[in-house]
Structure 1
Amino acid sequence: MISKTNKIVYSSLLLAIGIVFQIIGRNIPQFNQFLVGPIINSILILTAFICGRWWGVGVGTLTPLLAWFVGQLATPLAPFIPFIMIGNILYVLTFSLFIQGNMIKRAIGVILGALIKFVFLTFASTKLIKLVGLSFPPKIAKVLATSMSFPQLITALLGGALALIIIELLRRRRVI
């Protein structure tokens, strides 16, 4: 059992790693989403596994906001941050339902979490924003809808797979 103090330290460390990669990612725009996305998704899964679901939810809530602060998320997309937060929360909570058990169960959690996050962000970026009265210029709306669809599924699956590999390595070394 990890103490509350260690959970704070581990989740803060994982969040800090995420911030570093967000800063790096903003400087490589052509690879930004496919470099930063999997790493952030991996951090969400690792935080939930190591520290618990609510710590994962906390990190998942902070990462989009911090991405905007460091300039990794474009300023015109700032009104969409709450939707990204919700997508991250759905990803973490779905995975958390499958934490206990073997690698196959955790893999199912990653896959289902990635699918739910993908469906939510696709719906939010194409339909929900209109329902809540957000309007983006057509060019921004197109970029938003594109970046919040299949790339989200791919980055969530890749990040989840990376996290599962790291979890297995840590378990074999008896670190966690």
Structure 2
Amino acid sequence: MKTIKQQKRKEIKMNDKLKYLTRTAMLLALTVIFQFIGRFIPLGPNSNFIVGPLVNACLIISAGLVGLFSGTVISVLAPYGAILTGATLPLPLAPFVALGNFVLVLAFYIFRKKKVAGIIAGSIAKFAVIYGSLLYIIPFFKLLPQNKAMALAGAAFGWPQLVTALIGGIIAIPVVHRLEKHV
């Protein structure tokens, strides 16, 4: 027979798991909403400079407030959410974008006490993973035609990934700073 104290501990663990799941789901939903709304911004490919920072902010906030696993889940699902909401992301590139998102989240999580260092390191790592995959991995395995991979490397998946990750970090830092004391 369980004591009242054991039952309370079990309830607290369940409440913590529920909070974790709820926060992850909310941030994932917010990420998909930003991606969906981005399709209606009449800026063409330049809408990435609005949607990208918001999505990157969600990734960083999830790592900062919920944890590494939460950030990883959102990192992996975000590129597929973008495809489902009509982004021009080629499907063969989605795993590399997911990996780029993950290294952004991982760097921020590792450097969470020094948030700016985490943002800078993560942004550079994300850019390197995505750009490097377009230059080397995708052509090597012939996942996309060479000319398409190079066009993507020069457009939305080149330097804009670095810029949008940095801007996303600038958005996320005050949110994380403000909310980490209350969650």
Q: What residue ranges of structure 1 are gaps of 5+ in the alignment?
A: none
Distance 1:98 1:137, change over 3 A: closer
CA contact (8 A) 2:131 2:158 kept: yes
Moved more, 90-99 or 25-34: 25-34
**Identity, % of aligned positions:** 32
Q: Is 2:148 aligned against 1:143?
A: no
Count of residue pairs the alignment pairs up? 167
After TM superposition, the runs of 4+ consecutive aligned structure 1 residues lying more than 6 A away are none
- SS in structure 2 at match of 1:127: helix
Task: State the TM-score, normalized to the length of structure 2.
Answer: 0.85
Q: What residue ranges of structure 2 are gaps of 5+ in the alignment?
A: 1-12
Rg comparison, structure with higher value: 2
Q: CA deviation at 1:128?
A: 1.4
CA contact (8 A) 1:94 1:113 kept: yes
Distance 1:32 1:87, change over 3 A: same
Task: State the TM-score, normalized to the length of structure 1.
Answer: 0.88
Partner of 1:69: 84
Counterpart pick for 1:6 among 19, 34, 41: 19
Deviations 1:58-88, CA, capped at 9 Å, x for gaps = 00000000110111x216x111101001101
Partner of 1:127: 136
> CA RMSD for the aligned pairs?
1.7
Q: Is 2:174 aligned against 1:165?
A: yes
What residue identity is the alignment partner of 2:35?
A: Q
- SS in structure 2 at match of 1:3: helix
Partner of 2:91: 78
- SS in structure 1 at match of 2:142: coil
Counterpart pick for 1:106 among 107, 110, 115: 115
